[in-house]
């Protein structure tokens, strides 16, 4: 039997040669694509082949600099990452050609491409008019440009590609989407690679593009690296020009939650069915069980991110201590609206960034109200010296027992909400309004404003057992625990994700 000692040496020799050959092919292929196929200046305002590269070849001073960077460039183009990326995108685009979404004549743009591998792949599969934009230009494939201001004229492209989850990473997905739509020709296609794969995010995506485009195809694609192992490929077609026609404001009155939202409600934590004997402990503890919407679904494809705190009291009481610290925000920046009628809390809001204070009481119409400052006798709330404010319309004043009253402006909260947020925004609301929830929530349903809210944290006020005085119910509220439970149940049955707040 002949010893096989020479074999591994021979094998690795062959492998090295093969590898070198592969690298050579890639470099040749790249220089072919860049130099011969690349001399297209057909794209408005942009020549794929930049003049400085011509100079480099002519051997001027700046040329020798460019030549050196060209060496490191070609090393990059030979790296494993680069090659597998180009191969991956080539197969993606070949499939899109086969599907009729892309053709060799398509003017094509890759938005926020980190490396330009997708641009090169486009050119390799025969689409000569392809260019990329990124915050970090890497000529000749990628020009400087940001998604929120794509540096091309309206209707320039037949095809726009957004890979690497760039749309969902964007802090302003709605602006990004509008820019893609703007630069797309009518009947043009845009393809997006996203990680998100739940029905909530899919519906948000559809809503984000509904002003211009229809989703025409969804593919599941196996990714080529660990950053996106499973890719959802969403293809939209531009059908309309109009921007900003908000279909929501035209639909007055009632609205109903779609099935995918009802499904989310079924996945939420259970409601506490039985009246707690120690509500001050049980309800507080329940916060740990809360299944936040943003821990169940991807909230990337939204316009603005908004938190409305109705009955905000001091900044630290829930905005600072809970929302800013604990609510899972998926890295999004939320704008906060603090609604608080009590003057004592107003001053500190002046210095808070990203917070708008509405120094009025949320109510069912615009009118003056009386506002109770001191807590009623026997109420033993955390002794901060400032009671919770109950409100009443002026006509029925005199209802309050003891305590000072103050006249304050109330406003139509449902109307305000409809004028402030849109269907595409992500809206979280906390409501702690001392019993006024039994007026505000029905009004939100009546006006359809309820459908603008994604998630509600609601404190329901009832004649609860008191910590101070065993066996005694709070005299401050006349609603019962059952009535509160009914309010929560009816919200959930309508597809509103509501949590019991304390």
Ligand X SMILES: *[C@@H]1O[C@H](CO)[C@@H](O)[C@H](O)[C@H]1NC(C)=O
Nearer to ligand X by Cβ, of 146 and 415: the residue is 415
233 contact partners, CB below 8 Å, separation of at least 6: 92, 191, 192, 193, 217, 218, 219, 220, 221
Site string for ligand X, 260-299 (x = CB under 6 A): ----------------------------------------
Using CB under 6 A, pick the residue from 415, 438, 483, 490 that binds ligand X. Answer: 415
Query: In angstroms, what is the minimal distance from the CB of 137 to ligand X?
Result: 20
Short-list 132, 129, 134, CA closest to 158: 129
The helix/strand/coil state of 110 is: strand
User: Should residue 154 be labelled a site residue for ligand X when binding is judged by CB under 6 A?
Assistant: yes
Query: In angstroms, what is the minimal distance from the CB of 409 to ligand X?
Result: 9
**What's the alpha-carbon Rg for the chain, to the nearest Å?**
30
C-alpha to C-alpha distance for 50 and 487, rounded to whole angstroms: 65
Nearer to ligand X by Cβ, of 118 and 179: the residue is 179
Which ranges of 184-297 does DSSP label H, i.e. alpha helix?
A: 199-209, 247-250, 259-266, 279-285, 293-296
Using CB under 6 A, pick the residue from 68, 135, 136, 230 that binds ligand X. Answer: 230
User: Should residue 227 be labelled a site residue for ligand X when binding is judged by CB under 6 A?
Assistant: no
Q: Kindly list the strands in the beta sheet with 142-144, ordered across the sheet, starting from the edge strand earlier in the chain.
A: 142-144, 130-134, 108-111, 157-162, 184-194, 230-238, 213-222
Q: Identify residues 84-123 at the interface with ligand X (CB under 6 A).
A: none
Using CB under 6 A, pick the residue from 14, 57, 65, 243 that binds ligand X. Answer: 243
Using CB under 6 A, pick the residue from 207, 340, 412, 434 that binds ligand X. Answer: 412
C-alpha to C-alpha distance for 466 and 379, rounded to whole angstroms: 8
Query: In angstroms, what is the minimal distance from the CB of 337 to ligand X?
Result: 14
Using CB under 6 A, pick the residue from 29, 172, 182, 185 that binds ligand X. Answer: 182
Q: Which stretch binds ligand X (CB under 6 A): 245-253, 311-319, 373-381, 407-415?
A: 407-415
Short-list 117, 140, 128, 126, CA closest to 56: 140
Nearer to ligand X by Cβ, of 319 and 362: the residue is 362
Nearer to ligand X by Cβ, of 60 and 214: the residue is 214
Which ranges of 59-79 does DSSP label H, i.e. alpha helix?
A: 61-77
- b/e burial code for range 292-325 (CB count within 10 A of at least 16 → b): bbbebbbbbbbbbbbbbbbbbbbbebbbeebbbe
Query: In angstroms, what is the minimal distance from the CB of 178 to ligand X?
Result: 7
Q: Which stretch binds ligand X (CB under 6 A): 59-67, 308-316, 394-402, 408-416?
A: 408-416
Query: In angstroms, what is the minimal distance from the CB of 189 to ligand X?
Result: 18
User: Should residue 185 be labelled a site residue for ligand X when binding is judged by CB under 6 A?
Assistant: no
Query: In angstroms, what is the minimal distance from the CB of 411 to ligand X?
Result: 5
Query: In angstroms, what is the minimal distance from the CB of 17 to ligand X?
Result: 39
Tokens coding 371? 């506002």
Using CB under 6 A, pick the residue from 197, 245, 380, 397 that binds ligand X. Answer: 197
C-alpha to C-alpha distance for 180 and 97, rounded to whole angstroms: 20
**Helices and strands in the chain, H and E counts:** 16, 17
User: Should residue 473 be labelled a site residue for ligand X when binding is judged by CB under 6 A?
Assistant: no
Query: In angstroms, what is the minimal distance from the CB of 182 to ligand X?
Result: 5
Other Cβ atoms within 10 Å of 267 Cβ, number: 11
Nearer to ligand X by Cβ, of 94 and 330: the residue is 330
User: Should residue 367 be labelled a site residue for ligand X when binding is judged by CB under 6 A?
Assistant: no
CA neighbours within 13 Å on the CB side: how many for 59? Answer: 0
Reading phi first (left if > 0) and then psi (alpha if -120 to 50, else beta), residue 464 is in beta
User: Should residue 334 be labelled a site residue for ligand X when binding is judged by CB under 6 A?
Assistant: no
C-alpha to C-alpha distance for 203 and 165, rounded to whole angstroms: 17
Give the total residue count for the chain.
502
Query: In angstroms, what is the minimal distance from the CB of 310 to ligand X?
Result: 16
Q: Which stretch binds ligand X (CB under 6 A): 83-91, 245-253, 335-343, 411-419?
A: 411-419
Residues 154/46, Cβ–Cβ less than 8 Å:
no
Using CB under 6 A, pick the residue from 8, 36, 220, 288 that binds ligand X. Answer: 220
Nearer to ligand X by Cβ, of 412 and 437: the residue is 412
Query: In angstroms, what is the minimal distance from the CB of 207 to ligand X?
Result: 17
- Please give the residue ranges that form the binding site for ligand X (CB under 6 A): 154, 182, 197-198, 220, 230, 243, 331, 366, 411-412, 415
């Amino acid at each position: 039997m002949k010893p096989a000692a020479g074999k591994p040496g021979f094998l690795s020799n062959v492998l090295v040669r093969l590898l070198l050959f592969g690298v050579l092919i890639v470099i040749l292929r790249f220089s072919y694509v860049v130099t011969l196929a690349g001399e297209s200046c057909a794209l408005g305002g942009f020549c794929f082949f930049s003049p400085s590269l011509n100079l480099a070849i002519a051997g001027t001073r700046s040329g020798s600099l460019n030549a050196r960077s060209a060496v490191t460039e070609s090393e990059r183009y030979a790296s494993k990452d680069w090659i597998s990326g180009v191969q991956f995108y080539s197969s993606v685009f070949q499939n899109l050609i086969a599907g009729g979404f892309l053709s060799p004549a398509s003017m094509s743009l890759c938005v926020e491409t980190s490396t330009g591998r997708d641009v090169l792949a486009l050119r390799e599969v025969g689409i000569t008019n392809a260019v990329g934009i990124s915050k970090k230009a890497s000529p000749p494939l990628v020009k400087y440009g940001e998604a929120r201001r794509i540096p091309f004229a309206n209707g320039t492209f037949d095809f726009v590609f957004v890979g690497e989850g760039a749309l969902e990473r964007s802090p302003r997905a709605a602006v990004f989407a509008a820019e893609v739509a703007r630069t797309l020709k009518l009947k043009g296609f845009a393809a997006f690679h996203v990680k998100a794969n739940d029905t909530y995010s899919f519906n948000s995506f559809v809503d984000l593009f509904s002003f211009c485009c229809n989703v025409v195809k969804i593919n599941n694609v196996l990714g080529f690296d660990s950053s996106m192992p499973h890719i959802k490929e969403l293809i939209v077609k531009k059908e309309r020009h109009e921007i900003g026609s908000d279909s929501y404001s035209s639909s007055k009155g009632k609205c109903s939650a779609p099935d995918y939202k009802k499904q989310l409600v079924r996945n939420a934590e259970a409601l506490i069915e039985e009246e707690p004997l120690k509500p001050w402990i049980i309800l507080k503890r329940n916060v740990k069980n809360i299944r936040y919407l943003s821990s169940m679904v991807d909230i990337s494809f939204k316009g603005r991110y908004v938190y409305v705190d109705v009955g905000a009291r001091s900044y630290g009481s829930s905005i600072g201590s809970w929302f800013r610290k604990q609510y899972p925000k998926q890295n999004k920046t939320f704008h906060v609206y603090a609604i608080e009628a009590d003057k004592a809390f107003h001053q500190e809001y002046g210095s808070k960034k990203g917070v708008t204070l509405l120094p009025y009481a949320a109510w069912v119409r615009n009118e003056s109200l009386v506002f109770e400052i001191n807590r009623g006798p026997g109420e033993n709330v955390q002794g901060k010296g400032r009671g919770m404010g109950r409100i009443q319309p002026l006509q029925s004043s005199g209802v309050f027992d003891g305590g000072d009253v103050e006249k304050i402006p109330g406003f139509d909260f449902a109307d305000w909400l409809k004028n402030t947020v849109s269907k595409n925004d992500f809206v979280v609301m906390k409501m702690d309004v001392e019993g006024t929830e039994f007026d505000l929530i029905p009004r939100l349903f009546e006006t359809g404003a309820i459908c603008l809210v994604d998630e509600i944290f609601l404190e329901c006020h009832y004649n609860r057992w008191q910590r101070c005085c065993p066996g005694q119910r709070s005299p401050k509220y006349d609603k019962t625990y059952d009535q509160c439970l009914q309010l929560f149940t009816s919200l959930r049955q309508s597809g509103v994700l509501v949590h019991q707040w304390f």
